[in-house]
Amino acid sequence: MKYSKEEVLQYMQEEDVKFIRLAFCDVFGKQKNISIMPQELCRAFEHGIAIDASAVAGFGDESHSDLFLHPDPDTLMPLPWRPEHGRVVRMFCSITYPDGTIFECDTRSLLKKAVHEAEQAGYQFFFGAEQEFYLFHLDENGNPTKIPYDHASYMDMAPEDKGENIRREVCLTLEQMGIFPESSHHEEGPGQNEIDFRYSDPLAAADNSMTFQTVVKTIAGLNGIFADFSPKPLENEAGNGFHINMSVKSSDGTDHMDSMIAGLLDKISDMTVFLNPTADSYRRFGCNKAPKYISWSSENRSQLIRVPAAIGRYRRVELRSPDPSANTYLAFALMIYAVLEGVQNNLALPPAADINLYRAEASVLSGFGQLPKNFEAACDAAAHSDFILKYIPKTILDIYCGQ
């Protein structure tokens, strides 16, 4: 539901709200928040709430440490797991300098800029997310272990699938927050799960992805277990993927599917460090349906990009290389820009790779480019990319690659 500032203030009174969490994320996509009391909300809307940026990774040092959070009323959501009386709500924020200038490391604002530029060019984007996560037992001190919550496999059912009730509770909690999952199931790894979402506009989809991870970790914790979204939690098991589904509509009704895929293929190496930002991200590539080669095909899950079987408004492309450690705002923004360059430059789509790349001969595989083999190679590709330097502030690139 969309709210105005006035409606938010009225909601605070009518719903007995006592705490308001102002949420944002650092450059790596780790969610942060500060809680304020309802009587401070007018000040937050008018002037913003100051934070110590020097204490947030990548946000600066002590010499210029004041930044301001400005809540977005459209993003008002109750937190259902908090008390019903004296409720707690959350709003996402934009981040500015004291003079009101947008902070260059505010990745949510970078996505808003990408969406605006796409709309100015006559294109409307939609995103749907599929995130995987593991559930692990805690030890006697409440610390996470690597002992899986169950030993079920792909789409198994209870009693083998012990995550069924956790997924159910997550889905019901999300529905209470106005976020509607599309499906959920057990994944291939022991204790591994997946919940998929209906497509929505880029900013809402990114906000919902952030909210999703918070809800999963919260519900898991309330049930005495740990939710792990890292790219490769177990050495010899499937990694966690963040499959991103995307479609685009143009104002003139033209189908840009071919140029859309071509743009993503052309820029994938340049932006990989932002889709896979940890050293462990690269241990996932090339096994258990995680891609390794730069290729595309219809339906084929051995590819970097696949076009799922669908018709009409459900027709889309699925990018399979990202993992859940990515900053969703950066990932979506870069995908939008890559597609825009593909469409506007009318890039030619290479032939589909209608083969199983996990079983293909070496002579066949040699004909395909590969994703960066490790984090260092991904950083090097980004650092030498005109595309990245055009759309990503150098400050962010330096933070990611440790310059």
Q: What are phi and psi of 206, to 5 degrees?
A: -70, -45
Tell me which residue of 210, 29, 209, 233 sits closest to 127, measured CA to CA.
Answer: 209
Structure tokens at 243: 């499959």
Among residues 69, 103, 137, the one where a domain terminates is: 103
Q: What is the pLDDT of residue 308?
A: 84
- Does 171 share its domain with 60? no
Give 10-17 contacts, CB < 8 A, sequence gap 24+: 11/76, 11/89, 12/38, 12/41, 12/89, 13/38, 15/78, 15/87, 15/89, 16/85, 16/86, 16/87, 17/87, 17/88, 17/89
pLDDT tens sequence across 14-72 = 999 999 999 999 999 999 999 999 999 999 999 999 999 888 877 876 546 789 999 99
171 and 65 both lie in a single domain: no
Residue with the bigger pLDDT between 363 and 232: it is 232
Domain end among 48, 74, 103: 103
Is 108 a member of any domain? no
The CATH number given to whatever domain includes residue 81 is: 3.10.20.70
Residue 15 and residue 163 in one domain: no
Residue 339 counted as domain residue: yes
Expressed as residue numbers, the domain containing 285 is: 113-401
Please report which residue ranges of 241-327 form alpha helices under DSSP H: 257-275
Instruction: Kindly give the residue spans of alpha helices, DSSP state H, lying in 227-327.
Output: 257-275
Question: Residue 390: inside a domain, yes or no?
Answer: yes
Are 263 and 362 part of one and the same domain? yes
- Structural domain tally of the chain? 2
Claim to verify: residue 205 and residue 324 sit in the same structural domain: yes
Tell whether 230 and 126 lie within a shared domain.
Answer: yes
**Domain closes at, from 70, 103, 136:** 103
- Same domain for 41 and 120, yes or no, is no
Which pLDDT band, with edges at 50, 70 and 90, does 144 fall under?
Answer: very high
Residue 226 bridge partners (DSSP): 136
Say how far apart CA 377 and CA 379 lie, in whole Å.
Answer: 5
Whether 198 and 266 share a structural domain: yes
Q: What percent of the chain is predicted at pLDDT more than 70?
A: 97
Which DSSP string corresponds to 28-88? T--EEEEEE-GGGHHHHHHT-EEEEGGGSTTS--GGG-EEEEEE-GGG-EE-TTS-SSSEE
Q: Which of 117-126, 135-144, 173-182, 357-366 has the lowest mean pLDDT?
A: 357-366
Residue 123 pairs with which residues in a beta bridge? Answer: 250
DSSP-derived secondary structure letter, 295 = -
248: CATH = 3.30.590.10
Question: How is residue 143 written in tokens?
Answer: 């610390």
Residues 119, 95 within the same domain: no
**Same domain membership, residue 124 and residue 84:** no
166: left (phi over 0), alpha (psi -120 to 50) or beta: alpha
